[in-house]
Amino acid sequence: MSSWIIDRRALLGAAGQLGGVALAGQATPGWAKTLSQGAAALPQSEVLSGEAITLRIGKGHVTIGGKPAKAITINGTVPGPMLQLKEGQMLRLTVINELDEPSSLHWHGLVLPFQMDGVPGVSFPGIPPRSSFTYEFPIVQHGTYWYHSHSGLQEMMGCYAPIVIEPAEALPALLPSMREHVVLLSDHSFVNPARIARNLKVEADYYNRQPQTLSGLMAGHELSLDQRLSWAKMRMSPTDIADVTASVMHYLANGHGPDENWTGLFSPGEPVRLRFINAASMTFFNVRIPGLAMQVVAADGQDVQPVTVEEFQFGAGETYDVIVTPQNRAYTIAAETMDRSGMARATLAPAAGMTAPVPPRRARPLLTMKDMGMDMSGGAMKGMSMKMRDGSLAPQVKMGPGVDMISAMPEDRMSDPGIGMGDVGHKVLTYRDLVALHPNPDLRAPEREIEVHLTGAMERYMWSMDGKTMSQAHEPIPMRKGERVRFTLVNDTMMAHPIHLHGHIFELVTGHGDHSPRKHTVTVQPGGKASFDVTAEPGDWAFHCHLFLHMAMGMMRVVQVRPA
Ligand SMILES: [Cu+2]
């Protein structure tokens, strides 16, 4: 039976693009070329591996829809070169900053001595213009990770790339020879990020002005006049799903726009491992492959017991490895943005030039009372606008113009599939579905709990923790080496925030005991809360929202771990 979908125009188009890539020279690194046989099939010259690696940060371009956009590149490309490492090896990375401004590289999700973590002003001084820094550390883990600049808004301009670490010992569930593809999703704008930040500061909904439509109202997707007035009274909008949208961003798969259609090849019937990385600066993605179930086998690089889903939503900084078994046809990898304003697209195909239908973007989701930390079972919106500004609910939060709400009844939302994912009609991954493959390394109960509120004022585009920005908070969060602590993050905003703790892999508190799923980045749903247990590693560590503009505005702290 042959169900090949060969689109002749696409075939010619793909051939043209391959030529285009060759002409463009260095625009795309070897691992991200428009047509890929798989990461293992790459010639040695196309990946960076071994114990000594040199990376150059410089100025360049990324081509989106045939137009060049300014970019900060690593070794001349966006994304940068893939690092293929092996658990147990030593690594010496020389990073040359060719920019006229300070720079840095941070190894996202790697457990390492804090001086090698690469956050200017926190763990090292940064790399001055026209100079270099050498990072040196052992690789103590395996899985899918990535690296990016932690200076200014350079990450937002393309300064990121994947890291794939092979396990010291082969995992029983995975064939060592299994074909695999990295699918790195990102966002890029033709507008300078500093200008995007300025525009949001002047008008927080600058990029989010999708008007409510009459047809939407009639279809039941939109709000009644009454509901709209209630939201307005609270100075909130149920459409604040994302602050940076497709009106200014373009969404890329392995550095390619939807029309360039990055394509990963496979042999029909063979299991293929896809390493999804959300390297976007400001975007959550809903990832699905219509017609193909995905078996999630790792989260943030940590092995989990296989769980089969049709779709998952993930935030900036998170990674998922999935195994798919495609048949003899092409499939679209559809990575719709959480606010449904745009989509990154790629293709899995048994031969070059094949495409599958691209699913249309689904209707824009709306926020609910749950997203404001309100349980609506007992009452209506009446009185809510008072309650949501009640500072006594969170004594440690510094109330002021930078805090426009406090979650009155924050719920644990670890079983939540994500904004807009509740009614898509198929199985969507939740954190509670994740169960670690191996027992957790530290089974001690936490000695104490640290509650951190994620705070903000949407209208002023202010973002903070406990009501204070990074620059207003002079005290780091103190911990002792080896101390076991439970962090509970309470989201007092109506946006989802992917919160990343550097240098640690923590256990999500989701009721799975000694097989708790381990991660380095946890998304906290709007108005909800999330807890994780962590064993403190010595040093100064960045702790922040991975939406880069939220971090830049102040949703960040330093966690300082002193000797016991
Ligand atoms: Cu955030």
Annotate 453-495 with DSSP letters as a single string.
EEEEEGGGTEEEETTB-TTT--S-EEEETT-EEEEEEEE-SSS
pLDDT of residue 223: 60
How far is 539 from 480, CA to CA, in rounded Å? 10
Q: How far is the CA of 519 from the centre of ligand 1 (A)?
A: 17
pLDDT of residue 217: 46
pLDDT of residue 384: 54
pLDDT of residue 339: 93
Q: How far is the CA of 456 from the centre of ligand 1 (A)?
A: 9
Both structure tokens of 301 = 């690089």
Q: How far is the CA of 361 from the centre of ligand 1 (A)?
A: 24
Q: How far is the CA of 551 from the centre of ligand 1 (A)?
A: 7
Per the DSSP assignment, residues forming a β-bridge with 188 are 250
Q: How far is the CA of 419 from the centre of ligand 1 (A)?
A: 14
Q: How far is the CA of 31 from the centre of ligand 1 (A)?
A: 30
Q: How far is the CA of 524 from the centre of ligand 1 (A)?
A: 9
Q: How far is the CA of 472 from the centre of ligand 1 (A)?
A: 17
pLDDT of residue 236: 59
Mean pLDDT, each 10-residue run in order, the chain (564 residues): 33 36 55 85 79 97 93 96 96 98 98 98 96 98 98 96 92 70 97 93 80 47 60 62 90 95 96 97 98 98 98 98 97 97 97 96 83 58 57 80 83 92 96 97 97 92 94 93 98 95 98 98 96 98 97 97 92
The number of angstroms, rounded, from the C-alpha of 551 to the middle of its chain's C-alpha atoms is 13
Q: Hey, what domains does the chain have and what are their CATH numbers?
A: 2-170 (2.60.40.420), 367-564 (2.60.40.420)
pLDDT of residue 408: 78
Q: How far is the CA of 467 from the centre of ligand 1 (A)?
A: 13
What is the rounded end-to-end Cα distance, in angstroms, of the chain?
Answer: 66
Q: How far is the CA of 240 from the centre of ligand 1 (A)?
A: 13
How far is 459 from 200, CA to CA, in rounded Å? 9
Q: How far is the CA of 196 from the centre of ligand 1 (A)?
A: 16
Both structure tokens of 51 = 């114990």
Q: Is 261 left (phi over 0), alpha (psi -120 to 50) or beta?
A: left
Q: How far is the CA of 463 from the centre of ligand 1 (A)?
A: 7
How many residues appear in the chain? Answer: 564
Both structure tokens of 120 = 């200017």
Q: How far is the CA of 545 from the centre of ligand 1 (A)?
A: 4
pLDDT of residue 118: 98
Q: How far is the CA of 94 from the centre of ligand 1 (A)?
A: 31
How far is 392 from 390, CA to CA, in rounded Å? 6
Q: How far is the CA of 546 from the centre of ligand 1 (A)?
A: 6
Q: How far is the CA of 397 from the centre of ligand 1 (A)?
A: 17
